[in-house]
Amino acid sequence: MRICTVSVDLDEIPNYFAIYGLPSPTGPERSLVYDVAIDRLSDLARELGIPLTLFVIGSDLARPEAAGKILAASRAGFEIANHTLDHRYDLVRLGRAEIRRQVEEGARAIEAATGTAPVGFRAPGYTITDEVFDVLDELDVSYDSSVFPCPAYYGAKTAAIAFISLRGRTSRSIVDSPAVLAAPTRAYAVGRPYWRKGRGAVVELPVQVTPGLRLPFIGTYVTLWGPAVGRRLARACVGEPIVTLELHGIDVLDAADGLEALRPHQPDVRVPRERKLQALRGAIDELRRGGYRFVTSAEAALAFSPE
């Protein structure tokens, strides 16, 4: 089996300001992901002939323009999945009742916009716990795609949060338990603790790392490191039965779109969007050459069967 699923977290721009402890933006850049990035991503998906899975923050759909974009994407054959109601980076610390509300209301907002209840979930900031999995189980969620067993990313995120605090600001982002680094790198039925294989009903589609070195194969790094490295990361994943390529809306935006304020903080914002798109095309091309079939994340989770 060689299948690949490309998913996009539609984290709207104020989330990035929150990561760096910056005041929330007030201009039109507030909604660049829904107003600009979704169209670019749809064009890319059409050009490449692949379906996308969009992970949506429910509260963003209160804006009719955003709800309209998601309905159109759903009608175009994209899967719409749940990225919680409010994208609280500290979701895992909110307690069972609020975690449940964040998952349930996120799903409800998607169903209200598209007419279809989502079957997949991704936690904000790749941070998840057994308590969140219990909630997913209760709510009959078919698959999760939050586990990111990547030592390089874990180290970089922890260092970034420390650096932001040294500069006198407070990041909304939180440090995950290093236990996640022990999780399987291939799809698995979730056990307990969640980073072990088990017999749970929820299938985990881990965020992709390369076999061996476990380098991050996600849009942030493919676009930052450029087309040649993007192709090499993709080639390293060829042979894995299921490859997940996780992007963010901001992966197809750049400083010139109105993100100058993020330029000092976020290196990938400095990369011109054409080069970013080229890097994403190259990575997907390598997987296609490697014999991969592109499906939605729900289809990938269904194709998974425990050995």
- Residue ranges in contact with Zn ion by CB under 5 A: 9, 11, 124
Q: Closer to Zn ion by CB, 13 or 277: give it.
A: 13
Q: Closer to Zn ion by CB, 25 or 124: give it.
A: 124
Residue at token pair 């197809």: 252
Q: How far is the CB of 18 from Zn ion (least distance, A)?
A: 11
Q: How far is the CB of 168 from Zn ion (least distance, A)?
A: 25
**Chain mean position to CA 242:** 16
Q: How far is the CB of 25 from Zn ion (least distance, A)?
A: 17
Q: Closer to Zn ion by CB, 124 or 149: give it.
A: 124
Q: How far is the CB of 235 from Zn ion (least distance, A)?
A: 27
* Residue 21: closest CA among 301, 224, 264, 203: 264
Q: Closer to Zn ion by CB, 81 or 202: give it.
A: 81
Q: How far is the CB of 181 from Zn ion (least distance, A)?
A: 20
- What's the helix, strand, coil split of the chain in %, to 5? 50, 15, 35
Q: Closer to Zn ion by CB, 9 or 35: give it.
A: 9
CA dist 109 and 101 (Å) reads 12
How far is the CA of 245 from the CAs of 61, 67, 115, 165, 241, in angstroms? 24, 24, 26, 30, 13
Q: Tell me the CB-side half-sphere exposure of residue 62, using CA atoms within 13 A.
A: 7
Q: How far is the CB of 217 from Zn ion (least distance, A)?
A: 17
Residue 154 amino acid letter: Y
Give the residue nearest to Zn ion (CB): 11
Q: Closer to Zn ion by CB, 10 or 36: give it.
A: 10
Q: How far is the CB of 203 from Zn ion (least distance, A)?
A: 20
Q: Are strands 242-248 and 3-9 parallel, antiparallel or unpaired?
A: parallel
* Residue 253: closest CA among 89, 12, 1, 7: 12
Q: Is 82 left (phi over 0), alpha (psi -120 to 50) or beta?
A: beta
Q: Closer to Zn ion by CB, 92 or 287: give it.
A: 92
